[in-house]
Amino acid sequence: MKYNIPRVTGLLVIEVRNSNPNGDPDRESDPRTRAHDGRGMISDVSFKRKLRELLIQKDGPVWGEMAALMALKPEVFEIHVSQPSREKEKAEKKDGEKKSLSERYWDVRIFGSTSLEEKDNFIRTGVAQFSIGVSAAKVRIQRDTNTVSANVDASKNTDRGMAPLGFRVVEHGVYAMPFLVNPTAAEKSGCTSDDIELLCRLIPYAYAHNASRIRPLVEVRHAWYFEHANQLGSASDFAILDALTPKKADPAIPSSSWEDYAYDGSALTAELQTKFAGRFKHFGDLTDPDFVENVFPRKHG
């Protein structure tokens, strides 16, 4: 149903093992860290890009599964930022363009669009807002030199085929990335309940289906979804996020495994269901298929 968007507070708990979850172009693609405490960071832009990639690949298994399950039409679930040129869109600037953008592009409806290059901020914000992901403890970065085979005279250009300290990864880290769904923004962006459902179904696959050499082992361990009892909001975002965020006994010491956090998802679920009793419509983990089916029931067969 159009604009029937819930108020949602969510938290992604992302584990990183010997991977670079988000390189910093200002520091030669070093994994992003905070200067004052050494904690790792993942930008919201980086994560949203992973979601977009899943929909750009219309011949991929993720889109194929989602399209079949939700009866989605590819022409209304395109990705705006994937377009190689904006010349066509510049030529189409006219009264009906706002409608056409929201009708065609899923990421415009979900994340919004500013189109600064055309000086036309007709959509100021999106329905879904992701915050910066921050690790629960300081991270340790391993830096090594990349080498490749090269058929050259060994006496010449001895550094050819090498990238000194080009391989930079976080040895281990657990990151918490908050996200919010704001129903007030839906009328501006044209976001529908199907758009929100697709977002929630895509989140668990964001890293698994975007793995690369520098990012082979990144996983959304938990994707907490707290749907408020009403569209205004029935509990404090901060109270929800604080209760769900992983904590380490000594955050100044980098972790080496998931066990360093003693993070029990089942216990947390029971604890928050009691703490926020009567204040939510749905609360659970989007990585649990049974929970997703409960929130977004679909007829099978």
pLDDT one-digit tens code per residue, 3-48: 689 999 999 999 999 999 999 888 878 999 999 999 999 999 999 9
pTM: 0.88
- For residues 50-57, average pLDDT: 96
Where would I find the H helices in the chain?
44-56, 61-70, 87-91, 97-104, 106-111, 186-189, 193-202, 237-244, 265-275, 289-295
Output b/e per residue, 131-149; b: 16+ Cβ within 10 A. Answer: bbbbbbbbbbbeeeeeeee
For residue 222, pLDDT over 90 is answered with: yes
> Which has more confidence, 283 or 1?
283
Q: Residue 167: what pLDDT? A: 83
For residue 52, pLDDT over 90 is answered with: yes
* Local confidence band at 292 (pLDDT 50, 70, 90 cut-offs): very high
* Distance between CA atoms of residues 280 and 277, nearest Å: 7
Q: Poorest-confidence range of 50-64, 95-109, 124-138, 228-242?
A: 95-109
The set of long-range contacts for 215-218, using a CB threshold of 8 Å and a minimum separation of 24, is 215/19, 215/20, 215/21, 216/18, 216/19, 217/16, 217/17, 217/18, 217/19, 218/14, 218/15, 218/16, 218/17, 218/19, 218/21
* Local confidence band at 2 (pLDDT 50, 70, 90 cut-offs): low
For residue 104, pLDDT over 80 is answered with: yes
Q: Which amino acid, 289?
A: P
- For residues 84-90, average pLDDT: 47
* Distance between CA atoms of residues 50 and 57, nearest Å: 11
Output b/e per residue, 9-47; b: 16+ Cβ within 10 A. Answer: bbbbbbbbbebbbbbeeeeeebbbbeeeebbbbbbbebb
Residue 2 near residue 175 (C-beta atoms within 8 A): no
Each domain of the chain, given as residue ranges in start order, spans 8-76+130-295
* Local confidence band at 125 (pLDDT 50, 70, 90 cut-offs): confident
- For residues 283-296, average pLDDT: 98
* Local confidence band at 85 (pLDDT 50, 70, 90 cut-offs): very low
Q: Residue 87: what pLDDT? A: 46
Which CA distances in Å does 102 have to 8, 50, 107, 186, 234? Answer: 21, 20, 9, 11, 29
Give the model confidence (pLDDT) of 132-189 as tens digits: 999 999 999 998 776 666 555 555 555 556 555 578 999 999 999 999 999 999 988 8
